[in-house]
A and B are shown apart, each in its own frame.
Chain A
Amino acid sequence: MLHYIARRFALSLVTLFVLSLLIFFLGQVLPGNVGRFLLGPDADQQAVEMLNHQLGLDRPLLVQYGTWIWRFVQGDMGESYVYRTPVVAFVSQALLHSLKLAAVAFLIVVPLGIMGGIIAALKVNRPLDRIISLGGLTATVLPEFVTAILLILIFGIWLRWLPISAAWPDGAGALGQLHYLILPAMPLVLVLFGYIARMARAGMIEALDSDYTRTAVLKGLPWRLVIWRHVLRNGLLPTIAVVATQTGYLVGGLLIVETLFRYQGIGSLIFNAARGRDFPMLEASVMVIGVTYAVATLLADLLYSFLNPRIRMVSSR
């Protein structure tokens, strides 16, 4: 088990290293002359060179990458080109906000998706299964801004049930905040529902078809107990893994939803940094997302192997 954890941990580190190279390449190398970029085409050549020197962009690429990643590891994410203040304060604040929104979405979608998958699997190929499967597929493939617009029109404008902005008034309590977060969370819920329900359905069908389920039925165990003890436990395992890997997707969805609902999270931070060409902010926030994703998938894999001993046996051999 320890061996497995170590191996899995090392793999995450390698992935993060490659990711940092990718981000560095996209953020520092592709834009070309950042000084020219920031000052515009009319700026004096000398001023451009001075700014580049100030930002350390005239040093060899390897040195630039080394300093960038070394400082990042120590928690120094550089200084925003736009605000001229350390990026880290913005990023941590935004991450906290996004986690709140993501938590609301997950709290709604995980039970809903799993339940949908279980019902579909128990009624496989019947109308209810078709509705859940096709509905889930449809909800999953629609871009978030499209579902968000439709939800805003229905629940915000026509029915007037929910506020169409996520900016709650100051001093709103947890419930008050929740009221403002439900509509923004819904597009994420819709996209994730299809994935989770599909995984849960597939896992359940496989478990229902298995020999151990047949044995349990044949030895006379009541159907309810068979489902509870044998089918659910085995059938839902893959779903756990999927839920965690969706954190990567979630951030892409957050970017859209947060922009649309004017919510100050990591998504809108990335969006604004991209618009303002604030590369340090952009690189830092994307890297933070990468780290979050790596941690989430690592935890998911560990949880999965903990729940399913077969995997850790195989890998430790």
Chain B
Amino acid sequence: MKVGVVVFPGSNCDRDMYHVLTDVFHLDAEYYWHEKGLPENIDAVILPGGFSYGDRLRAGVIAAHSPIIKDVQKMAEKGIPVLGVCNGFQILVESGLLPGVLLKNESLNFMCEWTNLIVENNKTPFTNQFKLNEKIPIPIANGEGRYYVDDDTMKELKKKNQIVFRYSEVVNGSSNRIAGVCNEDGNVVGMMPHPERAVESEINPIDNKPSSLIFESLLTKMGVNK
């Protein structure tokens, strides 16, 4: 299976993501520059973290107008798994592929720390290897990570099981402590924390298994035996 890693000007977790996909999970991965298109034979698309366009105007909003987003939208409509991490999540909400918006953290600080997430939806292509309500340690690194939706949208998210991850405690002021959501079909997932930074025990002081399960879920979804 082939995974596309989309690169925008200012992406800076693209190589970490590529490294994890290729060196750790032995997948065929390729970078795709945001001005170009995605080929038809891609099996999954990942929008990595970083600071596309230097977060100018609002994190993710300028990249959301990049030509490649039309292809990401087409892939999403076809049911292909799409994951946005951190700035990738911000780009997915700004492009309308996911509901909500990511505001500056309540503290106004850039937050770089370990958090605990609760898995609220284990049916997505990136969470199918978790137990429901499993608590997982995972690092965050963002300045605009406070997820916000209005009350009506929140009701819809709950009704349609679109809340994928919640922080176990208040971290940044996110509505309902949300850390990650999916689209109605569940194939497009966005999350603020960085699983690609935590799958290797050498750089993970706590537990690298939970972050690995995000990628193993994708392998399972695609029927790849590790």
Chains A and B bind each other: no
